[in-house]
Chain A
């Protein structure tokens, strides 16, 4: 199994192109925020975009929003190309090390955002706040996690790689969007509490109800996937490591994340926890996921040491 170097190089080039496209998308979303008129306060609760507001500025703003979504979608296509060419170069699934895993997670996050913003247009207003972390994450991934395309180690050569890692990527990517929505929800509540005049840009965020709904729906979508990822991982571990669960650091943190998200879903339907506290739980969940990716792979020693980062 040899690595096709020209494809591997193409993959790296596509990576840079997708970062560039996302960066331009951030600019477009910022323009949307800057040129947008601050919507009336009622938008806080209504999920609907400014109704009967034919002011040119609003038009221009929403056009910038559409440009942002289009650029993001284009970036996602190129981003997909990064992984496809990677996989072809090494002739395997392109999630065998941390670089590939994290790149795929960010792609899932971007795709979830695009899908959401097509189905729920007010979500577009949070574009800048989703795409900016995306760009930052990708730059950090490129700088610190980069690993050459190469063959898989023996332990990863199993069909469970496709099942377990794919579902983990999917769950993580969806939680990524969910966590950002909850952060913005908390910001929104603060802006609303100050009357919204303090920061005209932040006042352009989607309403609190919308943000809360986005956070909850994505978490509801991600939770069974994450559950499945953990179960599939346990089944794989049973045949690879001799036990289905052994409190390996990665397993422990996957469990912690599962418990935190279970807590979030319960909290959101429990009096006294609804709203702000529940959103904080979701934010903690995302922090746990990121910690699990970075700390457990790079600092602690466990069986999941496939980072490939020297």
Chain B
């Protein structure tokens, strides 16, 4: 930290004896604490926080896309492990990022809590006594009046109370005086803003600890239940127990994607039924911007695609119908999709397993023998498939993607290509051994996501109070007005000295001028019938009738 606390003149006098180790530690700790909670430190920590977030947006992050991180590792084989060691692929959960924001929050708490205590005291206490030299305040004026001292202060008090000041009268050495204050809410807003930040962080942390999220591709007429075993991918906070998951099952009945004339995606809607396991499902429709919300849990549609359907007839006549798997869209604009079907259990042995790798085009066009898709809508579905036979290696213990075949198995010759074809609906590819693969059509699938975040409402509440605090902090003004009534030096009436201190908001001078104008008018109104024009200053209008009292 480059900033140094300002030198404190006349620091603690040298203690007579060497202080004990405990005292020295305490002193050291206090010094560091003061330094940490200084505003300059807070500003530097703010910048560190901003700086620390930058790599999180420039480098691929595991939390966002594991694939992009793997790609980065492949592209930069020497650099990536180094970056990884610095947690640069997990910036927002890295210890150094946590260190910065925790220090910032400690600094913030250390700064705000004492202020809150002081503010709570100030809220109930009377406004402070008037400074001795009021004319030295940023805004000040001296108003002569023929009224008596107390009566003149009465006028000021009334004006200020109408303007919602808290007013207190004191008798000072130089004469009766008055202190008024308004806008204590500014500081309340300031404290609310900063404490809301702490609440927001706590809410975030709670959500991370007890929250979880699972994603799964669900084909029409299928469903899933909320359990980690079923999800394709999931992430859970460290305090989530597998048994704590909300018992909820969702079935996808129908999925619709609608498009504008220019093929802009207009809406994705899924008709689902949901309920506890074994319960009769309640039907509802969810879509983009419109998730299912049940007891604080949410189910989202995050994507969609097509699962081509095949029927397979073995040479011995055994037929398997409705064999399908989701193909992942490679291009969202045309929904050209890629995927694989792995069928290890068709034959008896491990060497006559069947696999299909393919390309699905919802609206297919053949260009020079190559199938492409020209429209995301399923107007003329076609597939281009490669059929393999052999050993898939599924039980080898090595993890495989479900969306592609294991290239190693093909390279090693364990899996050999036995046929390829472009098929429209109803067409069949016949393999050399007599197996027939027929393309029957497609089903749609939806990518669904189940989310549970117990901190969410807490965070929302904190964000709203943060905003309210900020508005109060920035829009309100804290203003103190002091007035003192002294006998005029020439003996004729009273001189009223008024001064004001403002925090926040510009143009305090204009507002102060308005206040003094109002005071002048009020003083003139109250003034007894002018026996003689007061020396100096504008004479009050003689037409004003004297009041009864």
CA of A77 to CA of B325, assembled, Å: 56
Is A231 within 8 A of B467, CB to CB? yes
Closest chain A CB from B236 CB (angstroms): 14
Residue from A240, A256, A262, A272 within 8 A of B54 (CB atoms): A256
A260 within 8 A of B: yes
Q: Does B262 contact A (CB under 8 A)?
A: yes
A256→B54 CA distance, assembly (Å): 8
Q: Give bound CA distance, A266 to B3, whole Å.
A: 16
A240 to B291 Cα, complex, angstroms: 8
Tell me the nearest residue of chain A to B58, going by C-beta: A300
Say whether A55 faces chain B, with CB atoms less than 8 Å apart. Answer: no
A255 to B298, CA, bound (A): 25
Is B482's beta carbon under 8 Å from chain A?
no
Q: Does A246 contact B (CB under 8 A)?
A: yes
Residues of A with C-beta under 8 A to B300: 241-242
A38-46, A105-113, A153-161, A187-195: which lies at the B interface?
A153-161
A152, B57: Cα distance in complex, Å: 26
* Interface bits B261-277 vs A (CB < 8 Å: 1, else 0): 11011111000000000
- Is residue B470 contacting chain A, with contact meaning CB distance below 8 A? yes
Contact A266 B289 (CB under 8 A): no
Q: Spot the interface stretch: A137-145, A175-183, A217-225.
A: A217-225
Knowing A154-B265, A234-B463, the reply to whether A247 touches B64 (Cβ < 8 A) is yes
Report if A84 contacts B (CB, 8 A): no
Q: Which residues of B contact A35 (CB under 8 A)?
A: none
Of B40, B46, B50, B91, most A-chain CB atoms within 10 Å: B50
Minimum CB–CB distance from B395 to chain A (whole Å) comes to 35
Nearest CB to that of B48 among chain A residues?
A259
- Complex contact B49–A259 (CB within 8 A): yes
Q: Name the CB-closest residue of A to B265.
A: A154
The interface residues of chain B lying within 8 Å CB-to-CB of A255 are 53
Report if A5 contacts B (CB, 8 A).
no
Instruction: Give the contacts of B293-327 with A (CB-CB under 8 A).
Output: 298, 300, 302
Q: Is the CB of B451 within 8 A of A220?
A: no
Partner of A241, one of B46, B47, B56, B302: B302
Q: Tell me, yes or no, whether B191 is within 8 Å of chain A by CB.
A: no
Q: Is the CB of A267 within 8 A of B43?
A: yes
Closest Cβ neighbor of B215 among chain A residues? A242
B3 touching A272 by the CB < 8 A rule? yes
A266 to B260 alpha-carbon distance, docked (Å): 48
Contact of B92 among A2, A247, A259 (CB under 8 A): A247
Instruction: Please give, as numbers and ranges, the residues of chain A lying within 8 Å of B260 by CB-CB distance.
Output: 1, 151
Which one of A227, A236, A245 contacts B467 once the chains associate, using CB atoms below 8 Å?
A227
Chain A contacts of B438 at CB under 8 A?
none
Chain A residues, CB < 8 A from B470: 223-224, 227
Task: Choose the segment among B114-122, B217-225, B452-460 that binds chain A (4+ C-beta atoms closer than 8 Å).
Answer: B452-460
With beta carbons under 8 angstroms apart, the residue of A2, A244, A270, A288 that contacts B40 is A270
Q: Which one of A2, A249, A253, A300 contacts B261 once the chains associate, using CB atoms below 8 Å?
A: A2
| Inter-subunit contact B63/A273 (CB<8 Å) | no
Chain A residues, Cβ within 8 Å of B266? 1, 151, 154, 157
Bitwise, B136-169 to A at CB < 8 A (1) or not (0) is 0000000000000000000000000000000000
Those of B331-373 within 8 Å (CB) of chain A: none
* Those of B480-531 within 8 Å (CB) of chain A: 506
- Give the distance in Å from the alpha carbon of A59 to the alpha carbon of B302 in the complex: 63
Q: Which DSSP category, helix, strand, loop or mixed, fits chain A's interface?
A: helix
Known: A150-B262, A252-B56. A155 touches B63 (CB 8 A): no
CA distance in complex: A260, B44 (Å): 10
Query: With A231-B467, A272-B3 given, is the CB distance from A244 to B459 under 8 Å?
Result: yes
Within 8 A of B (CB), among A235-281: 235-236, 238-249, 252-253, 255-256, 259-260, 262-263, 266-267, 270, 272-273
CA distance A155 to B43 in the complex (A): 37
Chain A interface: which size bin? 35 or more
Given A223-B470, A224-B474, A231-B467: A213 and B506 interface contact (C-beta under 8 Å) = yes
What chain A residues lie within 8 Å of B46 (beta carbons)? Answer: 259-260, 262-263, 266
Check A296 for interface membership: any CB of B closer than 8 A.
Answer: yes
* A252, B97: Cα distance in complex, Å: 13
Nearest chain A CB to B389's CB is how many angstroms away? 39
Q: Which B residues are in CB contact (< 8 Å) with A160?
A: 289
What's the nearest-Cβ distance from chain A to residue B296, in Å? 12
Looking across the interface, which residue of chain A has its beta carbon closest to that of B503? A269
- A242–B298 CB distance below 8 A: yes
Determine which of A158, A242, A245 lies in contact with B449 in the assembled complex, contact meaning CB atoms within 8 Å.
A242
CB of A228 closer than 8 Å to a CB of B:
yes
Q: How close is A160's CB to chain B, nearest CB, in angstroms? A: 8
| B150 CB, nearest partner CB in chain A, Å | 39
- Contact B47–A263 (Cβ < 8 Å): yes
Are B63 and A246 closer than 8 Å at their CB atoms? yes
| Known contacts A154-B288, A240-B288, A263-B46, A252 near B474 by CB under 8 Å | no
Residues on the B chain within 8 Å of A2, using CB: 261
B42 in the interface (beta carbon within 8 A):
yes
Q: Which residues of A contact B61 (CB under 8 A)?
A: 247
Check if A266 sits within 8 Å of B463, measured CB to CB: no
CB distance A296 to B57 under 8 Å? Answer: yes
**Given that A227-B470, A247-B63, A300-B57 are known contacts, is A153 also in contact with B40, CB under 8 Å in the complex?**
no
Q: Are A239 and B290 in contact (CB under 8 A)?
A: yes
Contacts of A266 in B (CB 8 A): 39, 42-43, 46
Shortest distance between the CB of B534 and any CB in chain A (Å) = 32
- How many Å lie between the Cα of A221 and that of B470 in the bound state? 11
Q: Is the CB of B43 within 8 A of A243?
A: no
Q: Which residue of A lies closest to B211 (CB)?
A: A243
CA distance A300 to B58 in the complex (A): 8
B539 within 8 A of A: no
**Contact (Cβ within 8 A) B264 A153:** yes
> How long is the Cα–Cα vector from A145 to B215 in the complex, in angstroms?
35
CB pair B467 A224 closer than 8 Å: yes
Residues of chain B within 8 A of A154, CB atoms compared: 265-268, 288-289
Identify which of A154, A223, A262 gathers the most chain B CB atoms within 10 Å of its CB.
A154
Complex: A2 Cα to B261 Cα, angstroms: 8
12 A–B contacts from the bound complex (CB under 8 Å):
A1-B260, A151-B266, A160-B289, A239-B290, A252-B54, A256-B50, A256-B54, A259-B50, A263-B46, A266-B46, A288-B50, A300-B57
Binding site for A on B (CB under 8 A): 3, 39-40, 42-43, 46-47, 49-50, 53-54, 56-58, 61, 63-64, 91-92, 204, 213, 260-262, 264-268, 288-291, 298, 300, 302, 449, 451, 453, 456, 459-460, 463-464, 466-467, 470-471, 474, 506
Closest 9 CB pairs of A and B: A252-B57, A249-B57, A263-B46, A259-B50, A158-B289, A242-B300, A154-B265, A256-B50, A270-B39
